[in-house]
Structure 1
C-alpha cells in the first residue's frame, strides 16, 4: 500500500471526513483554540548571579547585589521581570541588543487588555534590558491575581518585531515578595 493511501485511510479513521471533503470550517464567532504549554523554568539573566529565594507558580523570587527580583521566562529564553532596589522597574530581556537610553515602542496584552507602552534601554549589571517604570505602566493590573498570559511585541532596530509570551501564574505574589525583600535589603544597607 502506498504512503498517500495510508494517510487518507488514517484521516478517515480519525474522523477527518472523506478524502475529497474540505476541512471543517471554524465558527468565526469563536476564538481559535490555544494550547497552553507549561512555562519553562525561569531563566536568571547570567549577569545577575542571582540567589533564588522562592518559586511561586511560573515565577521565581531572588536577590542579587542590592536588588530584589521576581521574574519568569518564555520558551525562547526571554525574561519578563521586576527589579527593586532604591527604585523599582519592570523589565524585559528579549535577547536582543538595545541602544543605551534609547526608547522603544511596544504593545503589551494581558488579562487587563491591550496597551501601547514605551520601553527604555537600561544597563543593569552589564545586561541591556528594556524597562518600564513601575508607576507608569499598570503591570500590577496586568499581573492580576489569576494568572494568564502577557504578550509583548517590540521593534528593536530595523529587525522584525520581537514577540514574547510570558506566564503570569504566580506573578502578582512574586512581585509582592520582591517588594518586601527590597525593603529588607534597604534596611540592611
Structure 2
C-alpha cells in the first residue's frame, strides 16, 4: 500500500530509556539529553511545518513533551493509536532483569521489539501492527507524527513495505526526523 508522505519523530530520551526500563504505556519525563534531542528536531521542522502537513502525536506525556518543543509550538492533535506497544507485566522492568530471568529469550539476542512481543499480558506484534496500519490507512495527506521508538519502527517498516517481523532491525534514533515517501526512508539530521 502507498501512504502519503510521513515525517516521523521519536520522542527524546526519557529517564526510563536511560535506565533501560520498558515503558510501554507507562511514562517518564524527558532527560536533559531528551530535551536537547527535541530541540535538534525543532531545527529541522520549519520548512516541513511551512508546507502545512497534519500534525498527529501520541497522547503519552513523553511524546507530547517532545512535540511541544519539536513542533515549535504549532498546534497538533493526539491519537491513541500512536501509543507505544503495551508491554504487559514487564512494563517498568529493566531489560537486563527480564533477560536474566528468561535465558531462553536472552539466548536469541532479541531486539527491543522482540522483548515487547514476548511480554506476558502484552499487546503482541500482530495487534500492534494492526493498530498502526489502521492509523496509517486513515491518513489523508502529508503528516508529521511524533510518537515512540517501537511504534516508529513498525510504522516505518509498513511505509517501506517491509514485514513487521523485520521492523526491530531498523534504526531507532532520537533527535532526528525520518521522512517516508513512496516506500523510501530518508533520515534528516541537524548539522
TM-score interval, normalised by the smaller of the two chains? under 0.3
Query: Which is greater in Rg?
Result: 1
TM-score by length of 1: 0.24
Q: Higher strand proportion, which one?
A: 1
TM-score by length of 2: 0.23
Q: Higher helix proportion, which one?
A: 2
